């Protein structure tokens, strides 16, 4: 099918790999299934898919390392970590390695599809009607999905870009983690640590001193607020 969105899933459980592959194909995706980390590493040196789904525990090369390599090759590649490790600290660790999203086994095929749908929809949307705008030191070009800091284009993952764009579009507004999950991730509910990790990663890119943020502030017990006032 022309312009069919592509998904690569790396999963060593043959049953999970087969079921997810067939399910997503039935929903209009071109799916490549890979069962081990070494084969995945080689495949990811070629053309990248629209969405990468990675099991964290893989033979040969682990999911964390594959995530780092894929992220280095393409900061914008949407990556979903799929794993049996369900503890909060494990989810945070997976996100820290560069994943945009995290789903623990056992999982709903419908939920996985909806998250893939959302990622493809956001990355493929052209935003051609959106005009560039400037806020303080930041210049935003939504049509080309670019954000510049002091004239230099920032290197952002897909989720970091979407989070930062949402913050820039809502300056001085206190945004709860639920607000951010709903508007950026498209979730009606979810794990708040997902937002916390992405805020930390974003601060490392926009703040002169991430431990003492001047732009992306924490409003304790409420959420986060983006400001450029008195930040210079």
Residue 232 lies in a domain: no
Residue 90 lies in a domain: yes
Question: DSSP state, 130?
Answer: P
End position of a domain, from candidates 107, 124, 141: 124
Q: Is 95 found in the same domain as 44?
A: yes
Q: How many domains does the chain have?
A: 2
Residue 46 lies in a domain: yes
Rounded to two decimals, the pTM is 0.69
Residue 231 lies in a domain: no
Residue 10 lies in a domain: yes
Q: Is 79 found in the same domain as 140?
A: no
Tell me the residue range of the domain where 181 lies: 133-226
Long-range contacts of 22-30 (CB under 8 A, 24+ apart): 23/109, 23/112, 23/113, 24/112, 24/113, 24/116, 27/113, 28/1, 28/4, 29/4, 29/5, 29/116, 30/1, 30/4, 30/5, 30/6
Residue 48 lies in a domain: yes
Residue 177 lies in a domain: yes
Kindly give the confidence (pLDDT) of every residue in the chain, 232 residues in length, as a single tens digit, with 9 standing for 90 and above. 457 899 999 999 999 999 999 999 999 999 999 999 999 999 988 888 999 999 988 888 988 899 988 988 888 899 998 877 655 666 666 677 788 888 888 888 998 998 898 888 777 664 444 688 999 999 999 888 899 999 999 999 888 998 999 999 999 999 998 889 888 887 655 567 888 889 999 999 999 999 999 999 999 989 999 999 765 5
CATH of the domain at 206: 1.10.10.10
Q: Is 19 found in the same domain as 118?
A: yes
Q: Is 120 found in the same domain as 10?
A: yes
Q: Is 137 found in the same domain as 120?
A: no
């Amino acid at each position: 099918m022309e312009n069919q969105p592509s998904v690569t899933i790396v999963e060593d459980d043959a049953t999970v790999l087969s079921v997810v592959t067939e399910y997503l194909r039935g929903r209009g995706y071109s799916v490549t299934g890979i069962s081990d980390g070494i084969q995945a590493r080689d495949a990811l040196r070629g053309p990248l898919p629209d969405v990468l789904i990675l099991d964290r525990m893989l033979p040969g090369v682990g999911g964390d390392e594959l995530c780092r390599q894929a992220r280095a090759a393409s900061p914008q590649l949407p990556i979903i970590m799929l794993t049996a490790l369900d503890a909060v600290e494990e989810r945070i660790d997976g996100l820290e390695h560069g994943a945009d999203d995290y789903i623990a086994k056992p999982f709903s095929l419908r939920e996985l599809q909806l998250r893939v749908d959302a990622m493809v929809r956001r990355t493929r949307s052209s935003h051609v009607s959106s005009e560039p705008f400037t806020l303080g030191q930041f210049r935003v070009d939504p049509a080309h999905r670019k954000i510049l800091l002091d004239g230099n284009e920032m290197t952002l993952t897909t989720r970091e870009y979407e989070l930062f764009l949402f913050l820039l579009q809502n300056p001085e507004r206190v945004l709860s983690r639920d607000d951010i999950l709903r508007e950026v991730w498209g979730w009606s509910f979810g794990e708040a640590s997902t937002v916390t990790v992405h805020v930390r990663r974003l601060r490392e890119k926009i703040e002169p001193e991430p431990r003492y943020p001047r732009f992306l502030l924490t409003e304790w017990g409420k959420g986060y607020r983006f400001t450029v006032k008195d930040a210079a």
